[in-house]
Amino acid sequence: MSSPTSTSPAFRTAIVPAAGLGTRFLPTTKAVPKELLPVVDTPGIELVAEEAAEAGAERLVVVTSPDKRSVAEYFQHQPELESTLAERGKDRLLDKVRRGPDLINAEIALQERALGLGHAVGCAEPNLAPTDDAVAVLLPDDLVLPHGVLGRMAETRRRFGGSVLCAFDVPADSVSSYGIFDVDDTDENDVKRVRGMVEKPAPDRAPSRLAAAGRYLLDRAVFDALRRIDPGAGGELQLTDAVALLISEDHPVHVVVHSGVRHDLGNPGGFLKAAVDFALKDSEIGPDLRDWLVERIGRS
């Protein structure tokens, strides 16, 4: 296992698994990958890339299927569009168009078959640099706000070593939708040591109500663990099971408990809440939307 020092950045590479079929957004996802659906005007994957870049990532490995290459291509410059906007003096639009490509260097790792989140993360291994002792994994369905939890996770890896995940509290009747942690306290309020982790447990088998929130800072050892797991919940190769295997082999795993907002972009209801939340904070469209919402709710 590698031993991070306080001077080296905790990670330079962020992996974003984006190969899913997006069945909850059919029929739209027949033609448009769900990761490119706009939260107001910006695709969810750009919001996630922005979070990774702010935390120090230089490279974004987008794991996707052969027919969803547009998710990674979104991060390429479009010289013709950019010069047209520049000629027309549309500077604000030009900034928006350049923002994604300027944020981070994106590249593709192909996942030919949808065999689960653990398998998807494993598909990114050939893209890693020899110096990548640890990688961040960000699930694009999860928006974790305000940004900063990855930084706190990096501090936690510097102190305790090993791997660090993000946890948040869920209602007891929702535990079967998440990876759930069994934890012990540490001397830091928001950091717990993980004794075990189980993917999508029945409510009466759940060790806690602390759920994985789609942000992982994983020691490179996880790739070896991913080769040694069997299909788990849903018949899929689960990232949770690779983390559980590492714990059973005394690899340190901690969670940072996130106390802010988490939006779930993975279903239409959660996506709409995120869009409304972002729109209300937008100085141009927020005030009018607020008035309309108040009036509309009053009518229902």
Q: Which one of residues 212, 242, 246, 274 is an interface residue with ligand G1P (CB under 6 A)?
A: 212
> Which of 57/175 has CB closer to ligand G1P?
175
> Which of 97/211 has CB closer to ligand G1P?
211
For residue 134, the SS3 value is: strand
For residue 267, the SS3 value is: coil
| Distance separating alpha carbons of residues 46 and 55, to the nearest angstrom | 14
Told to check if 278 binds ligand G1P by CB under 6 A, we report no
3-state helix/strand/coil string of 147-196:
CCHHHHHHHHHHHHCCEEEEEEECCHHHHHHCEEEEEEECCCCCEEEEEE
Cα dihedral 111, 116, 118, 121, rounded to 10, equals 30
Told to check if 240 binds ligand G1P by CB under 6 A, we report yes
| Distance separating alpha carbons of residues 278 and 43, to the nearest angstrom | 12
Q: Which stretch binds ligand G1P (CB under 6 A): 70-78, 90-98, 232-240, 285-293?
A: 232-240
Contact 150, 55 (CB under 8 A): yes
Structure tokens at 175: 């535990």
Told to check if 178 binds ligand G1P by CB under 6 A, we report yes
Told to check if 198 binds ligand G1P by CB under 6 A, we report no
**Smallest separation, CB 125 to ligand G1P (Å):** 18
**Smallest separation, CB 23 to ligand G1P (Å):** 12
Q: Which one of residues 133, 142, 219, 241 is an interface residue with ligand G1P (CB under 6 A)?
A: 142
Q: Which stretch binds ligand G1P (CB under 6 A): 57-65, 127-135, 206-214, 224-232?
A: 206-214
Q: Which stretch binds ligand G1P (CB under 6 A): 68-76, 134-142, 147-155, 251-259?
A: 134-142
| Distance separating alpha carbons of residues 125 and 292, to the nearest angstrom | 48
Residue ranges in contact with ligand G1P by CB under 6 A: 117, 139, 141-142, 178-179, 199, 211-214, 238-240, 266
